[in-house]
Amino acid sequence: MGERASNVLEGLRELILGTPPIDERAQLALPMELGPSQPATTDLDKLVDVEVLHAIVDLLPDAITLIHRDGSILLRNRAAFELLGPARSVDWRVTALEEDPRHPDGRPYTLEELPARRALMDGVAVRAEPMTLRHATTGEDVSVLASSVPLRGADGAMLGATVVFRDLGALLERDRERDTFARVVGHEIQVPLTAVRGYIQQAIRQLPSGVDTSLATRSLQRADANVSRLVTLLRDVLDTSRQQLAPVVPESLELGAFLSEVHSRFDPALQSRVRLQTPDFVHVRGDRRLLEIVVVNLVDNARKYGPEEGTIEVSVAREGSVGLIRVRDDGDGIPDSDREAIFKPFRRGWNAGAHEGSGLGLYLSRQLAERHGGRLELEPSTRGTLFALSLPLA
């Protein structure tokens, strides 16, 4: 029983907090029966009595439902009641369809498409799938991210599934509040900095003629450059903060079409340097806006550190269970000593030189990749620098 209890808690931790359990298994293990009839022979056995487990789950902020393999609802926490109202039936299928689940484009879900059904019948884990539901009492629409994983016993037998709904509306509202705060703070700091730059530039123009002012000119120019860098750094820090906290709203993306769309928004000079190689149709699940930030950062990095007229290759591939976006430049590459350092905040390449930047682009890009369940790596290359963004296939 102790091992099963550990699996329950670790599995819920993975599903709700997004961190992998100790044994890195995606599926949970539950006692064969959820109920007080099970004998509790140790203190740990008592801990996983269903009432205690229910109390623990009730404290969690996301809406959680545990479903038996026969389709009956075993447990529904307080957050589920507050988000969606009372369950329509003890049969999850009746309750699920009464909640009027819809795709982001408005199409209704069929029973076979529902995350809980896919977990119960197909044994697959569904992660952060956006959908719209209807509140049982108010009739109002509720936007959520739906996740579901199978529940298995120690022998691997299917016991049921757990379903988690995360309130997307609340996430977006918090994001809007953070965005508003960041804009206000940024404006209040940037205004005086811009004024300082104006005074410095005015002082440079008003230096007297006929005397040696080279030292004063150089000093003022350095001051102007440092203020300019501070303004850029402030803007990048605020942008990074907003993007780090933005909720991931995944959708199915065909990488070739997605990259063509991103490429169309580059300036003409950059468009002419970027060569797209998208021979295969590769579908992944990802947030279009956040993944565009990653691609733009990688291409911008190649533009800065590669030869001025060099080619930037952007390619797509499917390898195993992941889709890959690779970005390669024709530059000098990155020394082994810097291979991990470049992903740390405020760290810039060994050849940064006069290139503008705050050293946050690759740091943010790796974080966004990991929030998608993917990775951003610097791959070995005999030519230039090669970054690889891997994302789970849809």
**DSSP per-residue letters across 63-120:** EEEEEETTSBEEEE-HHHHHHH-S-S-SBHHHHHHHT--B-TTSPBPPGGGSHHHHHH
Hey, which CATH number is domain 2-169, 3.40.50.2300, 3.40.50.1000, 3.40.50.300, 3.30.450.20?
3.30.450.20
pLDDT value for 49 = 56
- 360 and 346 Cβ atoms separated by less than 8 Å: yes
In this prediction, the residues of the chain whose per-residue pLDDT falls under 50 are: 1-48, 354
Sequence ranges of the domains in the chain: 2-169, 248-394
Predicted confidence (pLDDT) per residue in 214-253, tens digit: 888 888 888 888 888 777 777 777 776 666 667 788 888 9
| Cα–Cα dist 95/97, whole Å | 6
- 119 and 126 Cβ atoms separated by less than 8 Å: yes
pLDDT value for 155 = 83
pLDDT value for 51 = 67
pLDDT value for 356 = 57
Hey, which CATH number is domain 248-394, 3.30.565.10, 3.90.1150.200, 3.30.450.20, 3.40.250.10?
3.30.565.10
pLDDT value for 335 = 81
pLDDT value for 357 = 55
Can you give the pTM of this predicted structure?
0.51
Question: In 3D, which of 350, 323, 182, 211 has the Cα closest to residue 256?
Answer: 323
